[in-house]
Chain A
């Protein structure tokens, strides 16, 4: 049986997309009877614990812990990972935003990533990314050979489906952590400029950093929303808007599609890899473009093609692709 060591420390952090990815990976691997899963983690979500974990545990302790468990493969599901490894090492890099747009990250993440990410990429035997766009970015920014990078698109599944209870009210929904990269200023401005006076803007997302606030007339910030409630919000929304300035994948766009709700997303990569011909495309740096996109999306009804397309992106498929990769590296 294949023994896989998986770093589960990121579960303590509240990065929405990463947590979703890791949760599905854990559930899927637990069910896979050909895989013996070992969870590896250290410390909690306190700031001090985080710094110790980042500076000591990942670089020095994690690989030793994995060795004690006698795993065949070690998988670090975020860019935090050992800087060298005798064990076959898989690292998931969700995006290289921290190197492309360092100004949109806090100081610690920015400095830590600039130092360690190139070495982590070097140490990894395989790098998993969620889109072909991210693959090209990783190859370019981290100078790793293309053959080392595997594209395994993210997934979507229950409770994010087209059928089911929907939240009440007339609203546009935005789902993202409140941080500068998510472009909330333009999003709110675009919403207010769209003239959609009968609608409110509901924002679901944990507080991030950088003093990002969402406020204004008809703007509501919802916190502590669980997945079932989020699924109801997706289904009940007149439209979903997602205008992040840089993303490796953009999971809320796929979740909106799966819910059959019209979605506004930036034109081009990586969204065109899964939402082409479905999303209402905008230029996220242009407030008028966002406003127009919203008007178009709101005027359109349910999106059956989005539901169909999203069905191609199951988490089972993603988990299976990971298991295949582990086997390949262990052999």
Chain B
């Protein structure tokens, strides 16, 4: 009988941008290659589980209750040979486990997360990383953070870089209409939306700014900044946008602005590049490793530097577009899945 692998896919359908993209793409790309194992996705949204992966429905009203009771109970029923979690191994689960750690932003920069979440992460993530048989890190930066903050042995950490979805690609047209810079990410301090708005105020002309992403702990601050700078006509809060809509927003943008203060990976950087859009990002976290030399990188938290970067990106568009398309080619979810499956197979 084929060994059973249970993947905790609770993020599916929860608009968790990077983490959700990761889970959906990983399952999709694992399905065709995991021919020697059965994979079950534990999720509250079974209809979002791709073909070839067995859905296991587990509703969850509270994340803590789910981790403490619901998930361990589901795992006792499934009795998997291996379970794969995001960040946290449920304390009551005793079997072999793999976790994926996307970033340790809550360690590197304490102000970037609410105190309650931060307390929970700091309690459970280090324990889980020590408990897990293997830790998948989405970047070398996250791997370094795991070693430095938690003393996790390097031999236990496998770097499985994220990929980029084929839906993000240029369609040969040049953007029309009034030019806009695009911001993609949760509207929260860590992503630096206010820096993006302040930079826009420093860029002359008719450039607009479109912010895509759910408002988290930064919505009010963003609105205040827009009013303070009188940019109501030049800034648009577009809210959360699904994949296809996002793809055409990327294609139409004059550039991506990614003023993040910390990233474990920074998926929008690659998505923009793959779409043929110049990228202005920061040197924070894993961004330099993900952006290579195909983006303009500036210091985080510095609106003047970001504004300079935007001007450069607009002036040097052609080179950045070509370099970005080329660079993004080396990241694929199929590769992520192959490396992840190799890690699973080490433990089976």
Q: Which A residues lie at the B interface, using CB under 8 A? A: 162, 195, 276-278, 281, 292, 295-296, 299-302, 304-305, 307-309
Asked if B199 is at the interface of the complex by the 8 Å CB criterion, the answer is: no
Which 3 A-B residue pairings sit nearest by Cβ, starting from the closest?
A: A277-B342, A277-B338, A304-B155
Nearest CB in chain A: distance from B129 CB, A: 14
For A162, the chain B residues whose CB sits under 8 A away are 155
For B346, the chain A residues whose CB sits under 8 A away are 305, 308-309
For B217, the chain A residues whose CB sits under 8 A away are none
Asked if B157 is at the interface of the complex by the 8 Å CB criterion, the answer is: yes
Asked if B154 is at the interface of the complex by the 8 Å CB criterion, the answer is: yes
The CA-CA distance from A266 to B156 in the complex, in Å, is 26
Q: Give the secondary structure class of B's interface.
A: helix
For A295, the chain B residues whose CB sits under 8 A away are 292, 330
The CA-CA distance from A295 to B154 in the complex, in Å, is 21
Chain B 314-348 interface residues, beta-carbon cutoff 8 Å to A? 329-330, 335, 338-343, 345-346
Nearest CB in chain B: distance from A297 CB, A: 10
Asked if B140 is at the interface of the complex by the 8 Å CB criterion, the answer is: yes
The CA-CA distance from A309 to B155 in the complex, in Å, is 12
Partner of A276, one of B140, B156, B330, B342: B342
A278-B342, A304-B158 provided; 11 other pairs, C-beta below 8 A? A276-B341, A277-B338, A277-B339, A277-B345, A281-B335, A295-B292, A299-B140, A300-B159, A301-B140, A304-B154, A305-B134
Q: Is there an interface contact between B159 and A301, defined as CB atoms closer than 8 Å?
A: yes
The CA-CA distance from A301 to B154 in the complex, in Å, is 10
Partner of A302, one of B154, B289, B293, B342: B154
Q: Is there an interface contact between B342 and A296, defined as CB atoms closer than 8 Å?
A: no
Partner of B157, one of A277, A292, A299, A304: A304
Asked if B143 is at the interface of the complex by the 8 Å CB criterion, the answer is: yes
For A299, the chain B residues whose CB sits under 8 A away are 140, 289
Q: Is there an interface contact between A305 and B343, defined as CB atoms closer than 8 Å?
A: yes
Nearest CB in chain B: distance from A71 CB, A: 40
The CA-CA distance from A195 to B323 in the complex, in Å, is 13
Most chain B Cβ neighbours within 10 Å, of A162, A296, A308: A308
Q: Which B residues lie at the A interface, using CB under 8 A? A: 134, 140, 143, 154-159, 161, 289, 292-293, 329-330, 335, 338-343, 345-346
The CA-CA distance from A276 to B340 in the complex, in Å, is 11
Pull 25 A–B residue pairs with CB atoms less than 8 Å apart, ordered by A: A276-B338, A277-B338, A277-B339, A277-B340, A277-B343, A277-B345, A278-B342, A281-B335, A292-B329, A292-B330, A295-B292, A295-B330, A296-B330, A299-B289, A301-B140, A301-B143, A302-B154, A304-B155, A304-B156, A304-B157, A304-B158, A305-B134, A305-B158, A305-B346, A309-B342
For A300, the chain B residues whose CB sits under 8 A away are 140, 159, 161
For A309, the chain B residues whose CB sits under 8 A away are 342, 346
The CA-CA distance from A295 to B340 in the complex, in Å, is 20
The CA-CA distance from A301 to B339 in the complex, in Å, is 14
Nearest CB in chain A: distance from B154 CB, A: 6
The CA-CA distance from A281 to B343 in the complex, in Å, is 17
For B154, the chain A residues whose CB sits under 8 A away are 301-302, 304
The CA-CA distance from A299 to B159 in the complex, in Å, is 11
The CA-CA distance from A292 to B328 in the complex, in Å, is 11
For A305, the chain B residues whose CB sits under 8 A away are 134, 158, 339, 342-343, 346
The CA-CA distance from A195 to B339 in the complex, in Å, is 25
**Which residue from chain A places its CB closest to the CB of B336 in the assembled complex?**
A277
For A277, the chain B residues whose CB sits under 8 A away are 338-343, 345
Q: Is there an interface contact between A307 and B155, defined as CB atoms closer than 8 Å?
A: yes
The CA-CA distance from A296 to B155 in the complex, in Å, is 20
**Which residue from chain A places its CB closest to the CB of B157 in the assembled complex?**
A304
The CA-CA distance from A327 to B340 in the complex, in Å, is 40
Nearest CB in chain B: distance from A132 CB, A: 14
For B157, the chain A residues whose CB sits under 8 A away are 304
Nearest CB in chain A: distance from B324 CB, A: 14
